[in-house]
């Protein structure tokens, strides 16, 4: 019983000390908030795209001018199309960054369609502006698809013994299947993904500070002095663990509250969010404990925590949204607690999931907490008592 | 003058020995950027593989089956059948498939009557990860649509039935000459294969050199706290000399770290860093900028803990603003302007010109000049604050 009380006292003292410490507040609360704001600003607004794609009509045929007109008339949001004099001019504009890509309809394009050697369409792009290049390509593929369909229509009609329609009629051929884009979930603000993501990143960094703190207390013999009272190492560790978890939950909770009210980031079902936050904090705290157990000096703990933090964050999807990663990296992200936590948060926000939808995520995170925590509990007393 | 130079070298050497003695610190801090580039490099290396795409068919007509087969047969797509739309949407959200295709109910009937029909493409709401999938899906759908359109024209203009016309279209399609879209990259001599990794490698170099160097530089705070630096003042060397020595050690560290990333990128992943003179100037200038920023942080904060806690958020925020985590092309113009208030944006502009456009050192002169400005201003600030902190 007295050991439990001792643990609570240790936890209370630790919490008070860290609440008074500006570094903790900066790292646990201010850091993630600032980054969530930066991300929201970066991706806020109208689709975030502002790009101009050029269209070159070197053909001058009815078909190519109809194409140019339809495309340049289709400005949407931040996406603009602009008619450009020649392919060389377009090349210069793309090179100078004035337009982000261009579609070139070459001279003789319309005339070549009935022959055996149709002219190709050219798309100019630059690696500096990948999105503009993709848009230009998509537009060009659309035209190519329609002309290929027209050619097939002419050939099929001829082979069936029918009267091949005039070129003009074929040029107007509409493809019967269109692709409609759907979102896989609710349109959520980017803050809804990146707020938990940055919260988790800084949670890792703060637990690095816990490791440093433990080692500092060992070095300055504070731990030894505490043990001279009838307080066991396990009571001290339990206390520190409790304060770390409480503060971690509080810090993610503050990020949640602020981003939800100020940045319009809807994290989803509160019960599910809370369960995920607690499970995430436990997993991260366990990793922090292991770092403290493995590091010999405070500096080593810092470096070790930094490496673990950034590697897990990078693989887990804290910097690059999981969906934007190459496929192999996505699979790899399932080996990190970050990957599971972020998927869980996404399931609640974008997926509008019920709390029961994140049971698996919570379970995996608790698994991390138990396995890594058990290792830390085995190793830590040895490290902390050996002073 | 010479004596001061010797002193600077001695202080720097001593600093580096101190760091080197803590082998864990040395290995971990130098290994981090390398580990990161290896992780990213190996996963981006697998990008050419087929992308998993889920498909829900609400229609079991032959036309729907034909579309599914066309998608499955297309290069770069690996089609996986789903029974439930909700399940597919979830898997797209959590990215276990890259995108989803919905063949709507009544697809076959609409196609039979020649009505327009919409095929759904499900993409993740918060990502443009589907960008890689779209062209492949569009191409497969376009081929299918061409066959249907051609059959309709044949039926409208001839005396054949629809089934026969479809069969004819299918028979003719493979051998018909096609209009293809030819892609040309502008303004460089680089191969088309200069892929995504060539953006990722420099952006990680910039991001992590800065984070690491600032964190290491900020450790000056702990030396200050221990009185280590004040003790040095007892020697006949001025605060300026001591500051220079400390800074030189941190600079050496930043340079070694950058060179490791460049080397690993080149040797393991074949990253072409562009014009060697331009790359060298860029690496050195950015190392100077990072070092000055680190020393500045180390001079203004109270202790190592505060240094660590400020350094990480500041360095990450600067990386975000400067385009290390996403190309500045995708952010609103005002954020692009704001981004150029941090050195990262200039460094990224220069790396893009060198790596992606094959520019030489002259072409990135403006960026290098901006970085020189950052380095000068930050160094002056750092020297001033460190001097104040030392002599206080």
Query: What are the CA-CA distances from residue A255 to residues A44, A156, A362 (Å)?
Result: 19, 63, 19
| Of the listed ranges A188-192, A351-355, B76-80, B204-208, the one predicted with least confidence | A188-192
- Please give the residue of chain A at the shortest CA–CA distance from B354: A128
- Per-residue pLDDT at A39: 75
Helices B304-321 and B276-300: crossing angle, nearest 10°? Answer: 140
Q: What count of residues does chain B have?
A: 392
pLDDT of residue A369: 93
Q: How confident is the model at residue B193, as a pLDDT?
A: 47
- Note the pLDDT of residue A278: 95
Residue A45: how many other CB atoms lie within 10 Å: 16
C-alpha–C-alpha distance, residues B296 and B300, integer Å: 6
pLDDT along chain B (392 residues), means of 10: 76 77 67 75 61 86 87 82 86 78 89 84 65 75 87 83 86 85 69 57 85 80 75 74 83 88 83 88 94 89 76 85 80 84 93 83 91 94 84 68
Q: What is the 3-state secondary structure (H, E, C) of A335-383?
A: CCHHHHHHHHHHHHHCCCCCHHHHHHHHHHHHHHHHHHHHHHHHHHHHH
Facing residue for B185 by CB, picked from A116, A125, A328: A125
Which residue is associated with the tokens 């600030």? B381
Residues 241-300 of B with CB under 8 A from A: none
Contact A307 B122 (CB under 8 A): no
CB atoms within 10 A of CB A79: 18
Q: What is the pLDDT of residue B282?
A: 94
Chain A residues 190-219 within an 8 A CB cutoff of chain B:
190, 192-193, 201-202, 205-206, 208-209, 212
pLDDT given for residue B192 in this prediction = 44
Interhelix angle B365-391/B276-300, rounded to 10 degrees, is 30
**Which pLDDT does position B290 carry in this prediction?**
93
Subunit contact B119:A181, Cβ cutoff 8 A: no
Chain A hits for B164, CB-CB cut-off 8 Å, are 160
Range list of H helices, B22-133? 23-44, 62-73, 85-93, 107-113
Q: What are the φ and ψ backbone dihedral angles of B117, each rounded to 5 degrees?
A: -140, 145
Closest by CA to A194, choosing from A348, A354, A345, is A345
Between the alpha carbon of residue B230 and those of residues A254, B220, B225, B242, B304, the distances in Å are: 40, 12, 9, 10, 16
Model confidence pLDDT, tens digit, residues A244-299? 888 889 888 988 888 888 777 788 889 999 999 999 999 999 998 898 888 887 77
A329 vs B contacts (CB less than 8 Å)? 39-40, 43-44
Residues 155-174 of B with CB under 8 A from A: 157-160, 164-165, 168-169, 172-173
Q: What's this model's pTM, rounded to 2 decimal places?
A: 0.74
CA B246/CA B232 separation, integer angstroms: 11
ipTM: 0.71
């Amino acid at each position: 019983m007295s050991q439990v009380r001792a643990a609570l006292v240790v936890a209370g003292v630790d919490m008070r000390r860290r609440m008074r410490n500006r570094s903790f507040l900066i790292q646990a609360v201010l850091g993630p908030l600032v980054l969530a704001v930066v991300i929201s600003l970066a991706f806020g607004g109208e689709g975030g795209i502002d790009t101009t794609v050029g269209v070159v009509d070197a053909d001058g045929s009815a078909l190519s001018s109809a194409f140019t007109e339809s495309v340049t008339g289709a400005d949407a949001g931040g996406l603009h199309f602009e008619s450009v004099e020649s392919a060389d001019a377009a090349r210069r504009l793309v090179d100078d960054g004035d337009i982000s890509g261009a579609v070139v309809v070459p001279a003789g394009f319309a005339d070549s369609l009935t022959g055996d050697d149709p002219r190709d369409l050219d798309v100019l792009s630059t690696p500096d502006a990948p999105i503009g290049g993709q848009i230009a390509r998509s537009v060009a593929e659309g035209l190519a698809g329609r002309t290929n369909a027209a050619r097939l229509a002419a050939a099929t009609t001829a082979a069936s013994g029918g009267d091949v329609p005039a070129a003009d009629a074929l040029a107007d051929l509409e493809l019967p299947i269109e692709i409609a884009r759907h979102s896989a979930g609710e349109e959520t603000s980017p803050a809804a993904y990146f707020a938990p993501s940055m919260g988790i990143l800084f949670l890792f960094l703060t637990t690095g500070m816990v490791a440093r703190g433990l080692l500092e207390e060992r070095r300055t013999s504070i731990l030894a002095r505490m043990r001279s009272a009838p307080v066991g190492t396990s009571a001290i560790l339990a206390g520190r663990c409790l304060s770390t978890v409480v503060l971690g939950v509080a810090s993610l909770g503050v990020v949640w509250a602020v981003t939800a009210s100020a940045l319009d980031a809807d994290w989803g079902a509160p019960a599910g969010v809370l369960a995920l936050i607690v499970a995430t904090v436990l997993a991260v705290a366990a990793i922090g404990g292991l770092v403290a157990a493995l590091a010999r000096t405070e500096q080593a703990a810092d470096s070790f925590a930094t490496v673990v933090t950034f590697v897990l964050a990078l693989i887990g999807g804290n910097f690059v949204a999981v969906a934007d990663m190459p496929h192999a990296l996505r699979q790899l992200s399932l080996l990190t607690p970050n990957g599971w936590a972020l998927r869980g948060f996404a399931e609640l926000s974008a997926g509008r999931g019920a709390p029961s939808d994140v049971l698996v995520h919570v379970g995996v995170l608790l698994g991390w907490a138990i396995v890594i925590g058990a290792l830390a509990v085995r190793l830590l007393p040895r490290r902390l008592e050996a002073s | 003058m010479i004596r001061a130079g010797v002193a600077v070298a001695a202080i720097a050497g001593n600093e580096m020995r101190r760091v080197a003695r803590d082998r864990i610190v040395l290995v971990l801090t130098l290994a981090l950027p390398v580990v990161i580039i290896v992780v990213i490099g190996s996963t981006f290396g697998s990008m050419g593989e087929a992308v998993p795409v889920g498909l829900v068919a609400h229609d079991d007509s032959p036309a729907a089956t034909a579309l599914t087969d066309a998608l499955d047969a297309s290069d770069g797509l690996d089609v996986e059948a789903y029974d439930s739309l909700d399940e597919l949407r979830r898997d797209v959200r959590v990215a276990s498939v890259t995108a989803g295709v919905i063949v709507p109910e009544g697809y076959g009937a609409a196609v039979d009557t020649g009505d327009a029909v919409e095929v759904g493409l499900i993409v993740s709401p918060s990502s443009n990860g589907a960008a890689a999938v779209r062209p492949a899906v569009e191409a497969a759908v376009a081929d299918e649509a061409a066959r249907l359109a051609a059959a309709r024209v044949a039926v409208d203009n001839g005396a054949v039935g629809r089934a026969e016309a479809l069969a004819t279209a299918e028979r003719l399609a493979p051998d018909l000459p096609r209009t293809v879209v030819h892609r040309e990259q502008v303004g460089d001599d680089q191969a088309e294969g200069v892929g995504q990794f060539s953006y990722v490698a420099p952006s990680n170099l910039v991001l992590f050199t800065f984070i690491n160097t600032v964190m290491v530089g900020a450790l000056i705070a702990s030396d200050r706290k221990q009185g280590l630096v004040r003790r040095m003042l007892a020697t006949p060397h001025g605060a300026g000399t001591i500051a220079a020595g400390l800074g030189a050690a941190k600079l050496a560290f930043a340079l070694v770290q950058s060179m490791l990333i460049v080397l690993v990128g080149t040797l393991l992943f074949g990253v072409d860093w562009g014009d060697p003179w331009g790359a060298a100037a860029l690496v050195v200038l950015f190392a100077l900028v990072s070092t000055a920023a680190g020393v500045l942080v180390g001079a203004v904060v109270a202790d190592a803990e505060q240094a660590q806690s400020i350094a990480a958020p500041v360095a990450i925020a600067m990386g975000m603003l400067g385009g290390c985590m996403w190309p500045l092309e995708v952010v609103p113009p005002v954020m692009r302007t704001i981004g150029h208030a941090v050195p990262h944006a200039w460094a990224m502009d220069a790396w893009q010109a060198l790596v992606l456009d094959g520019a030489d050192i002259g072409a990135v002169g403006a960026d290098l000049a901006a970085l020189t400005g950052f380095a000068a201003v930050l160094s002056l600030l750092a020297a001033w604050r460190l001097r104040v902190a030392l002599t206080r």
